Homo-oligomer: A and B are copies of this chain.
Amino acid sequence: MAEQDGAEIATLIREINAGLNQRIRETFKDKPITPPQMMIIFMLAEEKRLKVSEISKKMSLANSTVSGILDRLEKQDYIKRVRSESDKRVVYVEATDQMKVIFDQHHQAMTEFLAYLVRDVTAKEFKTILDGLDILRNLVQTNGAKEKG
């Protein structure tokens, strides 16, 4: 494959990512919650308690970025930070009762959005998407330069 192909793929990914974020913003445009904040809220609805670094990893974000998002979620009283007793370097993030209310309010909208997104996708198309994304993920992984001779 030549570099034009790389450029084409890169542009497409950028376009799709922008489009997806746009759709999420539209879906929640009257809600006082941003996409990454939403993502953390949904993660905490499943896990109850997460380290800051676990959130960073799951979201493919730097720790410093997540720290800032948590600041704003904490200011809105949606999450709280709890120092780990066993390892005081670790900070656990937990949901507040306030957050549970927000989650219930938005759960429906998010579920509908996600279902709507793929409403017309056939099983075959879905497999094509996942296969393509899987190849791509391996390509861009930081250790993508595998020197296996």
Taking Cβ atoms with an 8 Å cutoff, the residues of A that contact B are 1-10, 12-20, 22-23, 26, 59-61, 111-119, 121, 123, 125-126, 128-137, 139-142, 144-145
Contact = CB atoms under 8 A, between A and B. Distances in A.
A4 B130 CA distance: 13
B23 A126 contact: no
A140 B16 contact: yes
A16 B136 contact: yes
A114 B61 CA distance: 23
A20 B13 CA distance: 9
A15 B60 contact: yes
Contacts of A128: 128, 131-132, 135
Given A6-B115, A118-B5, A130-B132, A142 B19 contact: yes
Contacts of A6: 113-115, 117-118
A118 to B, nearest CB: 4
A20 to B, nearest CB: 5
B12 A137 contact: yes
